[in-house]
Structure 1
């Protein structure tokens, strides 16, 4: 009897032990919601990215102002460097675009403070040149070395003596140095996830503010999301369309353009689904899964920037006119934006794009760059990212 009893107990212990072991290693499945909608313990939405919406609106108004001759140099500089003077007065004093340029923490990026300051000064220079040289030659026919107006077909551009259409250069640089940098090198970087895990585990509200129903890790993930989808009519359900009314925001617009090409189809859903599943993983404290989704987001956004840089470089070939200088001004901003992306898991280094930038800036700038140079730059960039120049050129922008 004792032997039987012992045998029964032994078997029970083995079964119990096995079940306990399984319970310890098997995690509950994390399922992404149908839309980007999440709630806190109070059963209220805990998704917040109002700051990103403000910056996107500021950037859009600055871009528009730089395409017109309606503001003074001081007014334009106030918009960029002080966060004031917007026609939409509700934006005044909320954020400062210049401070956000190349501002990802040094712990997560290899961009130095010297490099960040240099880019901000460069952008200051563009704004000042537009407000003085371009405004001063608003009715002058532009030519190599002479700022002014250039019309080709239905397109009219106002360019500096170097051929730069400054509203395009500024806007595309902001896509990289603000939007991409903040997403890739801050909010969905592995360093940010690791550094915010402890507070998230403890349930500490963002910035220690008890009125917030989200943690720093949740909020960071949402801020990254807001930089892409924050201007959608319904941000929780972004519309993947290249119709003008559906192209909301800066990076958002080009994500949709890239996805519209059959060679890159699926990249929109890759990013959207990774954001949803990653946020669900954060909520479930499954940091490994969140890290995998963050990697998808970083790689996909980086490819969008690479595709658009190559696309506009190739669109800039041929005689220098309103169309090609417009394309090259966009290309220039996207090439600068490459500094903030990842290729094969590593952030692009300054020296990897320095030659390309120099080629676009040398002599009389965009007037001087040759088709041979553009082919060389585009081919090298496409090779880095693993797509063909033909694929990038076929996009509808």
Structure 2
């Protein structure tokens, strides 16, 4: 998408914002039940609870427990996050209270992920990461530079939530022959096919239904369960936060956190497009959508998909800056002959966040062309480690093969190139922790170096 068009889309989303909540009446013709709302996305919220809970157990080394939240569908699974705390009470305590029989793995992208050794599918990679985490110490592998909590969490958000929303519900399911609006989604429900398709995409974004009434900082504080913002979360004033409609998760949180730290409008742009699209469907009053209406709906979907992709790219950009800063800190500590263990731990954590978000960009089935290949090579299969080594391959036996990658401090140059690539390819606006100011000098340094800092 051209930059000028993208700017117009984002501006339009921001300027059209109003206080409308994501709540819509029943329009399905012939429905004679008692429901008054046609909105339903509890299955998506159940998967958010599964993801949050999975993130909690990765560091425990219990593979069976990880699988329970990744691929299990058993009854009685306890929500480990978010849970009630003093001043911030959560309504649900079990996954079944949201939706029964849900898992993460079966909804993950089934295409190949080139940015990981062996080119696994996203589903295979999530399983592999779980196995590796179980064999590590508290989800941390200092030998290969892996923080499995971050890798699993950030990649799962992309492979499941981003993929299913933009590559499934906001694309193929908007076609005329897919779940038409003049029919029930399935027998007995109070919503039409297109209403539910749109709702499921919205649920995967993870925003509170009243998100347009909230500032980005309020969304961030709700996600963090800050008791001072409980009243902002509890939209209906019933004394509890309903995970189905009042909590913020995953990419909605990241969109809001980026906006709260800059002058961007990612969260409200996406939220407004979701509300406007749902309103368009509702105004059809249970009739089949015309080609013109579906065309307008696809316009809202394009706004959502583009801004959502930018949010993921913005997060990767930020963590590339963090990796750069960690390497600078390591160099200072080494020069002073100090203990680098904590700085190295931070480096591995931030690399895991960078890699997880970068892999997420692959997980929507959208061809990124040369940009994807460049990201894979610049970031590599692991951070550059002490001894100037880096993971080059997976050995198929639960371990990795390392090769020399050049001087560890040269990896900083890769981070600048990663930021530059992300900023240009995705037309980023916030660019938090930007290290590209000295790009010309860095490129000259790369060109004159005796050995390239790239991993190709």
TM-score, shorter chain, exceeding 0.5 = yes
TM-score, length-scaled by structure 2: 0.63
- The match for 2:390 is 364
Kindly indicate whether residue 356 of structure 2 is the aligned counterpart of residue 333 of structure 1: yes
Runs of 5+ consecutive residues of structure 1 not aligned to the other structure: 1-30, 104-110, 136-147, 149-157
Q: Please give the per-residue CA displacement for 1:238-270, whole angstroms capped at 9, x wherever unaligned.
A: 653232327821111101012123342x22211
Kindly indicate whether residue 168 of structure 2 is the aligned counterpart of residue 186 of structure 1: yes
Q: Please give the per-residue CA displacement for 1:297-333, whole angstroms capped at 9, x wherever unaligned.
A: 1111011011111111111111352222211110000
Q: How does 1:1-397 map to 2 (within 5 A)?
A: 34-41=20-27, 44-67=36-59, 69=60, 72-84=62-74, 86-88=77-79, 90-91=94-95, 94-102=101-109, 111=111, 118-135=121-138, 158-189=140-171, 191-196=172-177, 199-200=180-181, 203-207=182-186, 209=187, 211-229=188-206, 232=208, 240-241=216-217, 242-243=220-221, 244-245=224-225, 248-264=248-264, 266-283=265-282, 284=284, 285=289, 286-317=293-324, 318=327, 319=330, 321-340=344-363, 347-349=366-368, 352-358=371-377, 359-361=379-381, 363-365=389-391, 370-387=411-428, 391-393=431-433
CA contact (8 A) 1:312 1:327 kept: yes
Runs of 5+ consecutive residues of structure 2 not aligned to the other structure: 1-16, 80-92, 230-246, 331-342, 383-388, 393-401, 436-456
CA contact (8 A) 1:315 1:327 kept: yes
TM-score, length-scaled by structure 1: 0.72
- The match for 1:21 is none
Partner Cα separation in structure 2 for residue 62 and residue 350 of structure 1:
32
Partner Cα separation in structure 2 for residue 373 and residue 49 of structure 1:
41
SS of residue matched to 2:121: helix
CA contact (8 A) 2:179 2:185 kept: no
CA contact (8 A) 2:216 2:256 kept: yes
Alignment coverage as a number of residue pairs: 324
Distance 1:386 1:351, change over 3 A: closer
Larger radius of gyration between Structure 1 and Structure 2: 1
Partner Cα separation in structure 1 for residue 113 and residue 352 of structure 2:
25
Cα deviation for residue 354 of structure 1 reads 3.6
CA contact (8 A) 2:55 2:152 kept: yes
The structure with the greater share of residues assigned to helix is 1
